[in-house]
Structure 1
């Protein structure tokens, strides 16, 4: 089970997952070995699933980010879920409730790439696209 100290560790790791066990320990008054044991335990039980990085997509040539809602054609949901993983432009995919079935976040180089992706997704269901103007932080 996760206790209040583990929750503090998680909050710190959310901000900077690259901190050493010693640095983490200093922030919550624990020894590096105690921190390592707690982090390892949370990894083992699946609380911590993975470590990742945030990338500024525009700085590497991807100028468009968008959300696409997909209403899958009747009886095709399992097939579509399998197909979604084959699109490298899709950075996040969620099965949702409501009038649409799937919520996608996509990162693309330009409008032509967005148009091509939408054309491909339209063979799987009805799409509704929202360009991301900025992230609110």
Structure 2
């Protein structure tokens, strides 16, 4: 499916606040609720939107862990192993000094630390650099 500027705008509104109603999005874009609903349905059908999800907030501590992977092991295999850790929320394969960036979120710093300990034990992880996220701006 070809996305136009209206579809891109709808996606941006949903990224910022997935609970925003089709009526409110329609008002902002000067379209009817049914037009917005139809476009979202088409984006779901075409695979542009693949899922709707809930992200928990609640002020839980987060950490960003930069991971170096052993060059003799496929990075995607290391990433797949990282998905098995409970506190891991996002995994990015990246370029630069490190190969993988992992976002960890848990109810306590102790649980984040336990997750990092488990992460470091994964075959293929050769080095990590961890920072605790103090404040999210946007």
Higher mean C-alpha deviation, range 88-97 or range 18-27 = 18-27
Which digits, 9 at most, give the CA deviation of each residue in 1:85-132, with x for residues without a partner?
A: 111100000111112111000012333323322222222311110110
Unpaired segments ≥5 residues, structure 2 = none
Q: In the alignment, what sits opposite 2:17? A: 16
Unpaired segments ≥5 residues, structure 1 = none
Q: Please report the RMSD computed on the Cα atoms of aligned residues, expressed in angstroms.
A: 2.0
State the TM-score, normalizing by the size of structure 2.
0.81
Q: Aligned equivalents of 1:114 and 1:22: distance in 2? A: 40
When residues 33 and 121 of structure 1 are mapped into structure 2, their CA distance, relative to the original with a 3 A threshold, is same
Shift of 1:37: 1.6
Q: Aligned equivalents of 1:39 and 1:5: distance in 2? A: 11
State the TM-score, normalizing by the size of structure 1.
0.81
Aligned residue runs from structure 1 range 108-123, under 5 A: 108-123=106-121
Which digits, 9 at most, give the CA deviation of each residue in 1:12-68, with x for residues without a partner?
A: 22333223333332332223322222111112222223223343233xxx3x21000
